[in-house]
Amino acid sequence: MTVSRNIVVIGGGPAGVFAAIEAKRRDPQAAVTLISAEPCEPYERPPLSKAVLLGKAAAADAPIAGPKGLAGHGVGLESDTRCTVIDRATQQVFTASGWRFGYDALVIATGSVVRQIPALPLGAPRIHYLRTEAHARALTHDLKNARHLCVVGGGLIGLEVAASASALGIKVTVIEILPRILARVCDEDTSARVDDAHRRHGVDLRLNTVLTHAQAEPDGRIALKTGAGETLTGDLVVVGAGAVPDDRLAAAAGLQTDNGIVVDAQCRTSDPKIFAAGDVVRFPGPHGLVRREDWRHAQDQGAVAGRNAAGGSDEYRSVPSFWSEQFDLYIQGVGSPPAKPDQRVRRQGAGASQISFELTGPRIAYALGINAQRDMAVVRRLIERQTAVDPITLADPAKPLADLLKARAASP
């Protein structure tokens, strides 16, 4: 078989995997190689803070590319390989082990790295961050002998770890600097609902609490001092302080970066032969350049970058979304929250189900659901199709949301 082009993808997360798969699908004659720093087939990361910690699954149980792996899609995998240099002049990628990979098109999907708190450095004994399978394995091991876990950060990762540890019978204290948990992703009512679930399960939430100092005690436990003068001591500490884009390789190659690799709507960087996708990029949004970190974004944007690296001209227009499991709550967000919504509407479904909508004019801009998976799938389509909706219908659980899609389909 004659090779039409060499396409190299750097990064083993969902953006990189879908870029590689879609590049091969778009151009079956292309030689597509994915380079991953991790020593295994690329895996799904969402289970790391949930099923993996609970011992219900292993990262290897959920390969992103499916049961046959990347090889099943005709993509070559170079695992346990760290890229160190991109030579744009010769169109080559160099690795730490001395290998060179020439490319006709390159996709950078290096993702993000944990944002570290200086007082709680990554790698210190009994201090954990959660980003990779290795991180999850180390935390799972230490949780077996822990009685008290302190979590720094009341965002999605911190609270998912808190819920998992609580389910294992471990006492959990969460320190959050803001007045409420999940302040960056949900409204006050939904935040209060999640707050109540954690407290009912015995999680101690310390809001408006600033960490000022941390030190190891003689017995190895970690003492956390707060701005209020209190000392909280845990057998382990998990830090959920967010992530920062891993754009170092791109910046060193002279590509345009600005808190991430800057790309256009077709995922093309400042070098026309290099594309980028996923957590590492900033791309054109409705109100300027934006950066997103959710799984759906990485998958969809990676697919666009891969097709375009193989000769396509697609534009990235995916609706952002996220999901989280905490105790008996399945939390989903779809869309982009407007700075000032024209209207907020709440739909209270059966049992624990609810959806909060934020509207711009007659259209849904953002929705946040709890235990409403089926309805949220409909909401995504309403947002994607920019369907005008009736707020009264949105608020009435007796009126199926699917009828709004049918009404549009029936309209001239």
What does the pLDDT look like over 374-387, one tens digit per residue?
999 999 999 999 99
The string of pLDDT tens digits covering residues 283-307 is 998 778 899 988 889 999 999 999 9
Residue linked to tokens 């994915």? 34
The string of pLDDT tens digits covering residues 322-334 is 999 999 999 999 9
> Looking at the domain assignment, is residue 321 inside a domain?
no
> Looking at the domain assignment, is residue 323 inside a domain?
no
Residues 219 and 273 reside in one and the same domain: no
Q: Which of 301, 269, 265, 257 is nearest to 284 (CA)?
A: 265
State residue 184's pLDDT score.
86
**For residues 297 and 19, what is the distance between their CA atoms, to the nearest angstrom?**
12
CATH number for the domain harbouring residue 73: 3.50.50.60
Residues 22 and 94 reside in one and the same domain: yes
> Looking at the domain assignment, is residue 315 inside a domain?
no
CATH number for the domain harbouring residue 357: 3.30.390.30
Residues 45 and 99 reside in one and the same domain: yes
Give the end of a domain, one of 309, 343, 360: 309
> Looking at the domain assignment, is residue 314 inside a domain?
no
Residue 412 pLDDT greater than 60, yes or no: no
- Long-range contacts: 96-104, Cβ < 8 Å, 24+? 101/6, 101/8, 101/33, 101/35, 102/6, 102/8, 103/6, 103/7, 103/8, 103/273, 104/5, 104/6, 104/7, 104/273
- Mean pLDDT of the chain, nearest integer: 93
> Looking at the domain assignment, is residue 316 inside a domain?
no
> Looking at the domain assignment, is residue 142 inside a domain?
yes
Give the end of a domain, one of 197, 219, 239: 239
Residues 291 and 146 reside in one and the same domain: no
Residues 220 and 140 reside in one and the same domain: yes
Residues 124 and 219 reside in one and the same domain: yes
Secondary structure class of 48 (helix, strand, coil) = helix
The string of pLDDT tens digits covering residues 128-172 is 999 888 899 999 999 999 999 999 999 999 999 999 999 999 999
Give me the domain span that covers residue 212: 116-239
Confidence of residue 3 (pLDDT cuts 50, 70, 90): confident
Give the end of a domain, one of 221, 239, 257: 239
Residues 251 and 351 reside in one and the same domain: no
Residues 203 and 142 reside in one and the same domain: yes
> Looking at the domain assignment, is residue 287 inside a domain?
yes
Residues 295 and 354 reside in one and the same domain: no
State residue 411's pLDDT score.
45
What total number of domains does the chain contain?
Answer: 3
The string of pLDDT tens digits covering residues 9-68 is 999 999 999 999 999 999 999 999 999 999 999 998 877 788 778 888 776 778 899 999
